Structure 1
Amino acid sequence: MGHKKVCLECRVSLNRPFDKGSELNYPCPECGKKMTLLPHRFRPPKKSEEKQWETIRFLIEKGFYFQHIYEKVETKNGVTSYKNYVAYPDNIRDAKEFVEKFKEQARKN
C-alpha cells in the first residue's frame, strides 16, 4: 500500500509506494526540506486551508501521525481493552483535547 509524503511548509502531499528508509531523506520538490511520511488514509486539505494544515502540524508535533487511535473501553471486571477507531480532529481546539485524551497512544520519537 502507498503512503503519503507531506511537506508541512509547502502544504504539499505526494502519493508514494512505501520504501523503507526513504521517509528519512525524501526532500520536498518545492522547498527541499524533509517530508513527513503518513499512512495512505491521510487525506490532505487544500493548500489554501491554512487552519487545517496548522492542526495537522500540531498533531504531528505531538506524535500523532494519523495512525489508528483507539477508544479505551473498560469492562466490569476491570479489564481494559481498546476498540473503535477514533476520528482525527479537524480544528486546533479539538486537536488539543484529542492530544490530551489519547496521549498514551502517541508515537514516541
Structure 2
Amino acid sequence: MGFKNVCFDCKKAFNQGTDLNNIGESKCPDCGKLMKQITHRFRPPKQKDKKKWEVAKFLMERGFLYEHVYERIYEVRGITVLANYATYPENMRDAKEFVEKYKSQAETE
C-alpha cells in the first residue's frame, strides 16, 4: 500500500511508496506544478484517455479521493454499519450521479 502523486495537466501518476515519514507535496517532473496525492486505490487511466482523466479530476475536485465509498450506511442499535463498496465511475454522466448520491461521504478540506 502507499500513495500516488498525480498530475492532471500531464496525465501522469507516480507511486510514492509506503514510507509515511517521507510523504510530502511533490511537483510534477514534467511541468513543475504541484501534484495531487491520493491513495494507492486510484488506477490511473492511459495517458491518451482524456475522458477518463476528466472524470478522475471531476471526482477528486469534489472530495472523492478514491478512498472507499459505501453503498449503504445504516444504524443498528446505535452502531453504524457500512455495507458494500461503491464502484468509482468511468464516465462523466455516471460521475455526476455518483457525486450526488454519495456527497455525504466526500472528503472536505
Measured against the shorter chain, the TM-score band is: 0.7 to 0.9
Residue 66 of structure 1: CA displacement?
0.3
- RMSD over aligned Cα atoms: 2.1
Deviations 1:84-104 (A, max 9, x none): 111100000000000000000
| Preserved contact between residue 72 and residue 80 of structure 1 (Cα < 8 Å) | no
TM-score (norm 1): 0.87
Deviations 1:21-78 (A, max 9, x none): 744x31000101011111112110000000000000100010000010011254798x
Give aligned pairs, total: 108
Name the CA distance, whole Å, in 2 between partners of 1:20 and 1:59: 27
1:3-82 → structure 2 map (5 Å cutoff): 3-18=3-18, 19=20, 22-23=23-24, 25-74=25-74, 81-82=81-82
| Preserved contact between residue 6 and residue 12 of structure 1 (Cα < 8 Å) | yes
Q: Which ranges in structure 2 are unaligned for 5 or more consecutive residues?
A: none
Name the CA distance, whole Å, in 1 between partners of 2:68 and 2:33: 26
Percent identity at matched positions? 46
Secondary structure of the 2:87 match is coil
Cα pair distance change 1:51/1:75, threshold 3 Å? same
Name the CA distance, whole Å, in 1 between partners of 2:46 and 2:55: 13
Q: Which ranges in structure 1 are unaligned for 5 or more consecutive residues?
A: none
Cα pair distance change 1:20/1:7, threshold 3 Å? farther
Aligned residue identity for 1:39: T
Moved over 6 A (4+): none
